[in-house]
Chains A and B, each alone.
Chain A
Amino acid sequence: MAEANTATGNPPRPVNRSSGRPDNLRLLLNNKLATAGLAIFALIVLTALAAPLLPLPDPDVTAPADRLFRPLSEGHLLGTDALGRDILSRLIWGTRVSLAVGISATLIAAFFGSLIGLVAGYAGGRVDTFLMRGIDMVMAFPYILLALAIVAVLGPGLLNALYAIAVVNIPFFARNIRGIALGLSRREFVDAARLSGESNAQILFIEVLPNVLPVIIITMSTTVGWMILETAGLSFLGLGAQPPQADLGSMLGDGRKILFTAPHVSIIPGLMIFALVMSINLLGDGVRDVLDPRLKSGALTRPLARTAVIRDIAPGDIEPSPGAVLDVRGLKTEFRFGGEVFKAVGGVDMRVGRGECLGIVGESGSGKTVAAMSIMGLVPTPPGRIAGGVALLEGEDLFAVSDERIRQLRGSAVSHVFQDPLSTLHPLFTVGDQLIEAIQSHRSMPKSRATERAVELLNLVRIPNPAERLKSYPHELSGGMRQRVCIAMALADDARIIIADEPTTALDVTVQAQVLALLDKLRRERDVGILFITHDFGVVSAICDRVAVMYAGQFVETGATGEILKSPAHPYTAKLIDCVPVLGQPERRLDAIEGRPPVVNNLPIGCAFAERCPRAQDDCRAAPIPLTEFGQGRAVRCIHPILMEAGHG
């Protein structure tokens, strides 16, 4: 049936997620420093590669008569060294050697290091212990000392220096790669590959390796510069390139003795080493920035402490609705990426009275979290911004008050409880420390008094033996207990509103039932308003007086929970209720909602649900659908709502 819709509809391609090569190159070129690095490095490499073609004198032919010419002398652009050899020629040939050795050493170290890391990480257990202890042993020696020792055993020479540099760098690769491989090997796709009949070697090289490759490349690009420097170091000490062959290190070493009489002999190769290593490192950093997924997602850009508010028209004095603690009107929140605007929340009204619980229900991505986080300015900027509306907390416009005031209100008058308690609780401090800090941060009181208060709070959220529990660390508590501690923290300073975003979704059913019962009791006893976000109508029934159904950034239906469940008026609400199995009605046919919600950077003019709506008609697509009153205390954003007589369920 309509299933084909989903099957043939193109999955949306997120604008900022494609990972093709041209894209990466463009990203790299966006970075000015990396581009400069790339240009210098390319110039050096091309010159070095072209050495045999260039009209250069033989770098190793000595001409004692021409010794120590200054730069810019006739026939010797960069002068000559103590044996009368042309410095320009030696420099280019020497760079060639240094590059070749540095890059070969990197490749060797990367190959063996990555192999060890991959095998150790994937195999785990004894193999891992054995390999990594070996690596630790290598790392126990000071780096350059080990290289010196290896050359001392093998004897001086360029090739031996190469081996030494490669060997001392293997642990670096092995450790980096092992960590990644270890994580990947516990991922489900590895189990899936095993069940698809792949052998261990196939899994390691076909499944795991491609995912590790970017890390190997990052590690290589950030180490090759150092390896060139280390080779130069060994040659400088006379352990690398042997005369008459030149590399940058040995040239530097040759010039050292005559540093004062003929400084150019050592300064020129020194500058070259500097330019080479510098350009490689700039380029390497650029490559890392492009390939590192964390940097790509912007997770490392530091957002502002509060969401930017950019309202077209500053609203005049708005009278808060009587009895409302929180009164949000016309809230709009957007995300901007490049030229595109994602209207995550497109004009939402929320009203919560004392001791009232308003539920927001909707599919993933409908904007529930963004709407709730906008209230206290917790949406990250960039890319988020509040583009319109007001949020009145007992009459005070939260979008207009100072940062200082918001900071005061956060955690006191307005508290948050999140899905994952571990995102609120710090793992390294005891529950007591954190509770006491929360209490003292809003009201100064002596520690002993704060401790008493903490015990009271834990009692309130029904944690047995609270005085003892204060000494526990979060990981020592069960999921349900942790969530209770978070609720206790939310209550630390007489909250008037608790914003709870899926607070029970991660909990087991029996625990969920208790946490819901607890929240329900608290709001009745302490008159706290709750804004409760969930995707589960069952949970809504358990606690919410009123419910708002959200779709593509807007509320499509609001009203009393019981009424909406009994006779949903909006086709989306009806479908959302019908698509989940209900306990006690196993025979009920599940009615899937075909298709998927529209992407919020490209909303249709008319009804956002029209594509998936069985009742859609032409007029639905023509113009925006307003949220209109639909009986007492109810509103629906639909021009062909399901009427009660038509009967549902």
Chain B
Amino acid sequence: MADAALLSIEKAERVFGGGRNLFGRARPAVHAVQDVSIEVRRGETLGIVGESGCGKSTLARMIVGLDAPTAGRIVFDGRDLVAEAGRDLRRLSREVQYVFQDPVASLNPRKTIRTILEAPLIHLLGLDKQARAARLSELMDAVNLAPEFLDRYPHEFSGGQAQRIGIARALAADPKLIVLDEPVSALDVSVQAQVLNILDGLKHKFGLTYVFISHDLSVVESVSDRVAVMYFGRIVEVGPGRSVFRHPRHPYTHLLLQSAPAPGRRSLVSDDATAELPDPYNPPPGCAFHARCPRGTDLCNARLPRLEAVSGDESHQAACFHPHERR
């Protein structure tokens, strides 16, 4: 059953704005996520990378039901829970949980950690007092925090500790899938590793599936089984982590990897390449990366490349007319 899809996203789209205003004039629309189809398999970690504004967080929020797709479907474990989430979020929340980027902002400053962690136990699982107490100590143990911390307030914690509380909250209802939206980006480098190691341990212990979103390529590379690269609301490359990072096919992935700073290497990028994203209110007809792409041709400008297997490898797909060769 290792390969069964736990979550499948089918042609998901999220448009903000649009429609008409009071006077019947069309309002500008932005396609934050467009035509995204991807499966998350049971037990894997799917990494999603991309730069700010590429739609990563919008996609994440749709998966957990905080936002709804304007078209397409998101099916969890064979059930269209996400569509139901508009009416009752609780069923979805029992299965799919979320870890926020800013650990401190995601904890209510006026609640103790106990109250924060009890909320899902009460509202999602309906546990009684005794069962809650038992579960709380399990949770604190799982994220390696002393039980004394339960009666403290969020401002008394460091970023790393606060993020572990955020993880404990996500674990509370015993979900199958956790969406982690930049879970270590707000943390100091020295505590990133703590949190990443804890996440790794929990995944094995509880048989979790992760969707791990980050703009930091090295973090994504170190945690993911499969990786999807997003650009301008679409997935432009997807495949096994190893394959995507070693042999990037899409020119954008290539650029990302070249740009990422790494200890012991000087930058390989020229300072005058354009880094502008296309105008979201007036997207280009063809490939969105065309303006920045060194391999672009007229074809790219005229037509939209589809996400397709490159050179026979079904698991590795890229949306590009002129992909890089496998090195």
- Contacts from A to B (Cβ < 8 Å): 3-4, 6-8, 11, 13, 17, 187-189, 191-199, 202, 207, 210-211, 363-364, 462, 464, 478-481, 508-518, 520-521, 535-543, 562, 565-566, 575-577, 579-584, 586, 588, 590-594, 596
Contact = CB atoms under 8 A, between A and B. Distances in A.
In the complex, the 4 A-B pairs of residues with the closest C-beta atoms, listed nearest first: A197-B123, A538-B261, A517-B271, A513-B259
Contacts of A537: 263
Contact of A6 (B111, B161, B255, B263): B161
16 contacts: A195-B65, A196-B123, A197-B93, A210-B108, A478-B276, A513-B259, A516-B267, A518-B271, A536-B261, A537-B263, A539-B261, A565-B264, A582-B218, A586-B245, A592-B197, A596-B158
Nearest to B246: A584
A198 B259 contact: no
B73 to A, nearest CB: 21
A363 B190 contact: yes
A576 B190 contact: yes
Contact of A586 (B110, B123, B222, B266): B222
Given A193-B108, A510-B275, A514-B269, A538 B260 contact: yes
Contact of A509 (B108, B188, B217): B217
Nearest to B54: A508
Interface of B: 51-52, 64-66, 89-90, 93, 97-98, 100-102, 105-111, 119-120, 122-124, 144-146, 149, 152, 155-158, 160-161, 166, 169, 172-173, 188-194, 196-197, 215, 217-219, 221-222, 241-242, 245, 255-277
A583 B190 contact: no
B257 A583 contact: yes
Contact of B218 (A197, A364, A583): A583
Contacts of B146: 7-8
B288 to A, nearest CB: 14
B188 A535 contact: yes
Nearest to B103: A188
Nearest to A366: B188
A483 to B, nearest CB: 11
Contact of B264 (A7, A195, A541): A541
B259 A195 contact: no
Which of A511, A513, A575, A596 has the most C-beta atoms of chain B within 10 angstroms of its own C-beta?
A513
B156 to A, nearest CB: 5
B98 A195 contact: yes
A6 B160 contact: yes
Contacts of A199: 123
A593 B156 contact: no
Contacts of A363: 188-190
B190 A593 contact: yes
A585 to B, nearest CB: 8
Nearest to B94: A197
B267 A583 contact: no
Contacts of B222: 581, 586, 588, 590
Nearest to B263: A537
Highest count of chain A CB atoms <10 Å: which of B89, B219, B271: B271
Nearest to B115: A206
Nearest to A464: B274
B224 to A, nearest CB: 8
Contact of B144 (A3, A196, A508, A596): A3
Contact of B152 (A11, A478, A516, A520): A11
A198 to B, nearest CB: 6
A309 B303 CA distance: 64
Contacts, number: 219
Contact of A196 (B52, B119, B161): B119
A592 B119 contact: no
Name the residue in A196, A210, A478, A520 with the highest tally of chain B Cβ atoms < 10 Å from its Cβ: A196
Nearest to A534: B261
A514 B275 CA distance: 8
B150 to A, nearest CB: 13
Contacts of A581: 196, 218-219, 221-222
A518 B267 CA distance: 11
A480 B51 CA distance: 12
Contact of A188 (B64, B100, B122, B189): B100
B120 A196 contact: yes
A579 B193 contact: yes
B138 to A, nearest CB: 15
Given A193-B119, A196-B119, A583-B245, A211 B108 contact: yes
Contacts of B64: 195
Nearest to A207: B108
A513 B156 contact: no
A580 B192 contact: yes
A516 B152 CA distance: 42
B105 A541 contact: no
Nearest to B51: A508
Contacts of A514: 259, 269-273, 275
B122 to A, nearest CB: 8
Contacts of B101: 188
A580 B193 contact: yes
Contact of A542 (B110, B157, B266): B266
A211 B111 CA distance: 10
A583 B156 contact: no
B267 A509 contact: no
A480 B169 CA distance: 36
A522 to B, nearest CB: 9
A211 B106 CA distance: 14
A194 B161 contact: no
Given A4-B144, A565-B263, 13 more contacts: A3-B144, A189-B108, A193-B119, A207-B111, A363-B190, A508-B275, A509-B261, A511-B275, A512-B261, A521-B271, A538-B260, A579-B192, A592-B193
Contacts of B266: 541-542
A194 B66 contact: yes
Contacts of B219: 581
Nearest to A484: B271
A4 B147 CA distance: 12
B308 to A, nearest CB: 24
B259 A3 contact: no
B51 A590 contact: no
Most buried by B among A194, A521, A588: A194
A480 B272 CA distance: 12
B261 A198 contact: no
Nearest to B50: A508
Given A189-B108, A509-B215, A197 B196 contact: no
A188 B105 contact: yes
Nearest to A13: B156
A566 B100 CA distance: 35
B263 A592 contact: no
B51, B97, B145 — which one has the most chain A CB atoms within 10 A of its CB?
B51
A196 B222 CA distance: 29
Contacts of B105: 187-189
Among A17, A575, A590, the most chain B Cβ lie within 10 Å of the Cβ of: A590
A583 B267 CA distance: 14
Given A198-B123, A513-B269, A538-B262, A192 B191 contact: no
Contact of B221 (A8, A195, A583): A583
